Amino acid sequence: MTIGTVSKSGISIGTNLSELVYYGTQQPFKDLARLAEWIPQKTQPYGWAYEGWNTGETLDVDNNGWVKSLHTEDSTHKYDTVSAVISLGTNPSKTYVLLYDGEGTIQYSFDGRKNVQMSNMGKDVIDITHAGTETNASIYIRITETNPTNYLRNIRLVALEDQKSYKTDIFNPKFIEKIEPFSTLRFMDWMKTNNSSQKDWSDRPTLKSSTWNNFGAPVEVMVDLANKTNSNPWFTMPHQATDSYIRRFAEYVKNNLKPGLKVYVEYSNEVWNGAFQQGNYAEEQGKKTWTNSGDSDYTKRINWYSKRTTEVVGIWNKVFAGQTDQVIGVMGAQSGNVWTGQQALSYAWQSSNVGGTQKALNSATKTSADYGVKAIAIAPYFGYYLGAPENQTQVEAWTKDSDGGLNKLFNELTTGGVLSGGPAGGALQESYNQIAAYATLAKEKNLQLVAYEGGQHLVGFSGVENNQAIDNLFRQANRDPRMGAIYTEYITKWNQLGGGLFVNFNDISTNSQWGSWGALESVNQTSSPKYDALIGLLNR
């Protein structure tokens, strides 16, 4: 089974899109206010905001999220202004316009200054004072007054040169240029999948929403992007979404996605992972469903996830009746624990004897093919253990070498034996072993093996993220040419071992103590070892 567009060499590479946040360096939209995060603040006498930057109160908003009043007459409320910081990136335009409806007072600071002479009602012209090319520019926008009967709303922030085009062509052309080569776009972070609160269709973000920072991008925008880049979309449905929500989402995709494109359908993200609310939710549902089962709670979690996955994929296939070849149902599993994949694909929940024994299921048992599940998906990251607390002393000692520890780090990644107690053969071999185990499972089940995420996993955790020396080492390793060579070897090996589509994590994001995930660090960056390796593989 072949899924997704492939290069001449047989390699298919997609990418996850990084989270939609106001401080992001991806900058996918011409209208930068789409990513604003409006927060309540209290003003000090000299005009600045305090109360810990965010008073934490619930804003008085309309159905689209626009602030209707500042509650200045209500002494129980602390805030008297709402503000947003919007990143302009490393190479901003010289002039922006802020368009709005309603009446009120808006102030600007940081790198933005209002050009009073050129501004008029409904349109503020903002000159940018930022001159650097290496650091991000930003605008601090404060609403200090708003008319409750005609409140400020429909706020848009666009570069002067985009003022005429941003409505009909919403995407930043630099962003399109960077992601267009990839065959598949996974929208997990764009959908705010992890810990999602969306349940009903009315909960979804829309084109009229005040911001897509809080709840993610509308389905209309994601389908538009897939069509524009000719990329297969990969959707991760919210874990609490009703059947009606899923059906209506699928209907929109069917009616608007460009013919010929595939659509990957996954129930939530990493439900096996206890770090996310969706995993705990699935476990609770499993415990309620199988109250008399002797299975462990975690087994019930995986069984319920498997069951709900088949239901979600079934809804999509019903919507796509007659065109189900377009729908790729995905069953996710933990790369380092092949049991999670085996259990999910056993569909043990079909039997009255759920999970607890080895008793064979009855002859009416359905298989992946019956359910429309066509792929088993894993995240074969490499190097995770290097950020673990138990290895902190050794890895920190490497940083005292003249090269900052890079040679030892790359040797551990590629051949192993540098870190005492590390996996035999090093980080890459550990990943290859996991891939091989899942390739065997995929072959047994006649499924495609795909990577929903993947790449390096050099990041400290459980306190190690605060170790500055290790953090610097990990960041530098991601910028080193040797990392590009590793990506080329790693994805080639993935393909040789039986892997199909490989979806990199992620496209564009800045390095931080929480990880150096982006193939590029900024939408304005034209080259990097990781990005060049991915594009090089696609061009083979």
pLDDT at 380: 98
The closest alpha carbon to 300, from 277, 276, 281, belongs to 281
- DSSP for 329-361 reads EEEE--TT-HHHHHHHHHTGGGSSS-SSS-PPP
Tell me the average confidence (pLDDT) per consecutive run of 10 residues in the chain, 540 residues long. 54 96 94 94 64 80 94 69 91 93 95 95 93 78 95 97 95 97 98 97 97 94 98 98 98 97 98 97 96 91 97 98 97 98 96 51 74 98 98 98 98 98 97 98 98 98 98 98 98 97 97 97 96 95
Distance of CA 271 to the CA centre of its chain: 15
Residue 340: closest CA among 247, 253, 273: 273
d(CA 166, CA 96): 12
- Determine contact, residues 430/417, Cβ cutoff 8 Å: no
Tell me what pLDDT residue 1 has: 38
pLDDT of residue 74: 58
pLDDT given for residue 42 in this prediction: 83
Q: 250 with 320: CB under 8 angstroms?
A: yes
Q: Identify the pLDDT of residue 293.
A: 82
Q: Is 356:294 a contact under the CB 8 Å cutoff?
A: yes
Give the pLDDT confidence score for residue 90 in this predicted structure.
82
Contact between 335 and 453 under an 8 Å Cβ cutoff? The reply is: no
Which domains can be identified in the chain, with CATH numbers? 13-21+174-538 (3.20.20.80), 32-166 (no CATH)
Q: How far is CA 476 from CA 9, 90, 456, 526, in A?
A: 31, 20, 13, 18
Going across the sheet that includes 123-128, the strands are 112-114, 123-128, 95-101, 153-159
What pLDDT score was predicted for residue 72? 60
